[in-house]
Structure 1
Amino acid sequence: MERTLEALVGRAVDAWIAWLPRWKPATHRTRTRLCRRCIGSPFLAAAGLDGDVPHAVQHALTTRMKGIIDTVVDDYTEHNLPLLAKELRETEKRKELSYRPEVGLDPEFDGLQLDPDPVPGEPFLFTLGELAEDGGVPESLRPIELSEEEKQALRTEIRLADECADHAGRLVCLALQEHRMRAREAVQRIIEPQVDAMLDALSESLDMPPTRW
């Protein structure tokens, strides 16, 4: 698994670097919620990007790394954890019956909140989160009550899946360290000039004397 993960991480970093020129400084209203995927992320620490790097740039990398781990855990679950695999398949079937705006997003957008923070006095007519709420689920797809033995077996399989994810995460971090220099170089070459230009423009606008009529 280690060699496979090294190759997957290398290709993911390649894709992330290829995406970097598409990033532009945000000009819209910022959101107040912290991104749980990026705050304190060991992936960013391993890649040397846990410092003063725009969140969108960080998020595009962490999401790609999470996707690698999800693939490893899904494969392990499908081949080794039958109860958990069955539960996940049935959960996926139930989700397919509802609107899911978070599905199919590009990596740099995956995991972000679907709706902006509300502005006091300006209510939304509707939100994507509300549209994504589960509707009626047919009786045949509703969860079946498990026996105590099945519940205990399922807890064991969930623990094994968590251990697989933890192991894969450690290997991904080790692999990311091999790409640390080129990740930092790409940010310095592509991202930092845009940030500097934005700060220079902001500084000029603040220093500009008031217009006299």
Structure 2
Amino acid sequence: MRRPGTSVERVERSLETQVSQAVDAWLAWVPRWEPATHHGRTAPCRRCFGSPVLSAAGLGADVPHGVQHGLSTRIKTIVDRSVAEYTALNLPMLQAELDQQAARNRARTYRPGEGLDPEFEGLPMDPDPVPGAPFLFTIAGLAEEADARVPALPPLSEEAKAALRQEVGLADDYANMVGREVCTILLHHRLRIQAAVTEYVEPQIEAMLADLTKSLDAPFDPHDPGDPPRLD
């Protein structure tokens, strides 16, 4: 049995608090969610597709992606923060590499992916292209141009690369451990997460389906005095 107040227990309590606060923030946002009026993307979201976090939260494939993304991003922030703290304390080479990359990022003149709300973080910056109608410019393209103007980081020796790969592996192992713990904690929040979906999300989806059914059942306006188009 662990002694009360050990560092492991403090980490567990901290994760419980952070997950609870993240779920609270998501629950406060869900009433403001509205279905998107534009067409969906063809490529699945790499952050949400098959996410164990969403499975633990009880947000299945029948829940709109926008609702899923708002929660998965908040939980990812918790895992990322925990890994950053672990890295700063235990992985000096990886921390130095991250510090150099952060300094390089700060030197970019255009950073459109920073400072976004959790509901938009990690999503593609541009809409899907329309065949035959190319964009004059894209946000992602402008960001790439700004990145190209910043000098690249100095190359690493083979020994440094090997040591860095080892520390990256340790960071990944720690991230997986924190992720499993977070998923376990999320199981205790499933009821209130699902209650919010039932109250705020499902009625909007049902209303959309009802409108679609009406439009399919009555393709022509019954009050329009004109004749429907000939089908023969």
Q: Name the structure 1 match of 2:112.
A: 101
Look up the match of 1:171. Answer: 181
- Structure 1 stretches lacking a partner, 5+ long: none
Deviation at 1:194, TM superposition (A): 0.9
* CA drift at 1:135: 2.8
| Matched pairs, number | 210
Counterparts of 1:204 and 1:64, CA distance in 2 = 37
SS in 1 for 2:148: coil
Partner of 2:25: 15
Gaps of 5+ in 2: 1-10, 227-232
Q: Which residue in 2 is equivalent to 1:137?
A: 150
Aligned partner of 1:106: which letter?
Answer: D
CA separation of 1:209/1:168 partners in 2, compared to 1, >3 Å: closer, same or farther? closer
Q: Is structure 2 residue 132 aligned with structure 1 residue 121?
A: yes
Alignment of 1:1-150 (within 5 A): 1-98=11-108, 99-133=110-144, 134-138=147-151, 142-150=152-160
Counterpart amino acid of residue 149 in structure 2? G
Which amino acid is 1:136 matched to?
Answer: R
Once residues 149 and 219 of structure 2 are traced to their aligned partners in structure 1, the CA distance between those partners, rounded to angstroms, is: 61
Higher relative contact order (CA 8 A, sep 6+): 1
Structure 2 CA distance for aligned equivalents of residues 173 and 31 of structure 1: 27
Tell me the distance in 1 between the aligned counterparts of 2:158 and 2:75. 36
CA distance in 2, matches of 1:197, 1:26: 13
Partners of 1:209 and 1:10 in 2: CA distance: 47
Alignment RMSD (CA, Å): 1.3
Q: Which has the larger radius of gyration?
A: 2
For 1:65 and 1:80, locate their aligned partners in 2 and report how far apart those are by CA, in whole Å: 23
3-state secondary structure, aligned to 1:179 = helix
| Structure 1 partner of 2:230 | none
Question: Structure 2-normalised TM-score?
Answer: 0.87
1:156 to partner: Cα distance? 1.4
2:219 & 2:36 partners in 1: Cα distance? 26
2:212 alignment partner, one of 199, 202, 208: 202
